[in-house]
Chain A
Amino acid sequence: MAEEIKNFLYLNRRAPYGTIYAWESLEVVLIGAAFDQKVSLAFLDDGVFQIVKGQDTTGVDMKNFSPTYAALGDYDVNQLYVERESLEERGLTVDDLMHLTWEDEDEDWAEKDSIRVVSRAELAKIIEQQDVVFSF
């Protein structure tokens, strides 16, 4: 049982800064990365705002934690599913998001995109395939 590898999905449905959920859930992802489980993140509903580029918190005196998303690739967290309908409902396209990448060790450290835009129907199936879903 202890050796079992599970599929973990972190369900991100909240915008950053208005509440601490996004930042503290990212802390779980970073800690969880050390556990050798198969990890993916889903960004849907207001969660898509978490990875919008150009975040600048200097005027609100809060920590800008958005650079941490770019570090996820170094933690082998490179399956980031972003729901297309959630983007569209919020007037966003993938160009509004940070360019998040990871380096594939098996392909001579080729840089690859971590973000995969998926439809709502596809995301429903992705959720279905998981063993554990974390919600914050």
Chain B
Amino acid sequence: MSELHTVNKSPFEKSSFDSCVEHVLEGSAVLLYEDGVYAAIRGTAAEGKVKSAQGVKFYALGPDLKARGLSGERVTDGVEIVDYAGFVDLAAEYDKVVAWV
């Protein structure tokens, strides 16, 4: 079964993001939202982990990026920006949602 993993904490504050990416299997996806969007930013310590996850699709919630003053250009290549409708679509598209709260 495929999974949508969600991370809502900064990778610099909590281990949720690190733990999530270490448990993500090929064919699944990770949605970064709330403070989790900081893991989607280019040039951070999280960038390498986003890029090296084989066969895993990364998404970041646009409204949370914007709220934090982060423009789309700051986002790591390959990370797709979605809105809440996209979040809902992803939750329906994958077989289940795993929250790394």
Contact = CB atoms under 8 A, between A and B. Distances in A.
Direct contact of A and B (CB under 8 A): yes
Interface residues of B, number: 16
Nearest to A9: B98
Contacts of A93: none
B25 A135 contact: no
Given A13-B19, A45-B15, A45-B19, A124 B96 contact: no
B96 A136 contact: no
Contacts of A136: 101
A124 B24 contact: yes
A11 B98 CA distance: 9
Contacts of B28: 128
Contacts of A123: 23
B96 A130 contact: yes
Interface in A8-56: 11, 13, 44-45
A125 B22 CA distance: 12
B99 interface: yes
Interface in B52-101: 96-101
A133 B23 CA distance: 14
A120 B3 contact: no
A120 B23 contact: yes
Contacts of A128: 1, 3, 25, 28
A77 B59 CA distance: 35
Interface of A: 11, 13, 44-45, 120, 123-125, 127-133, 135-136
Please list the 4 inter-chain residue pairs (A to B) with the smallest Cβ-Cβ separation, ordered nearest first: A135-B99, A124-B23, A133-B98, A135-B101
Given A128-B25, A135-B101, 14 more contacts: A11-B98, A45-B15, A45-B19, A124-B23, A124-B24, A125-B25, A130-B1, A131-B1, A131-B96, A132-B96, A133-B97, A135-B98, A135-B100, A136-B101
Interface of B: 1, 3, 15-16, 19, 22-25, 28, 96-101
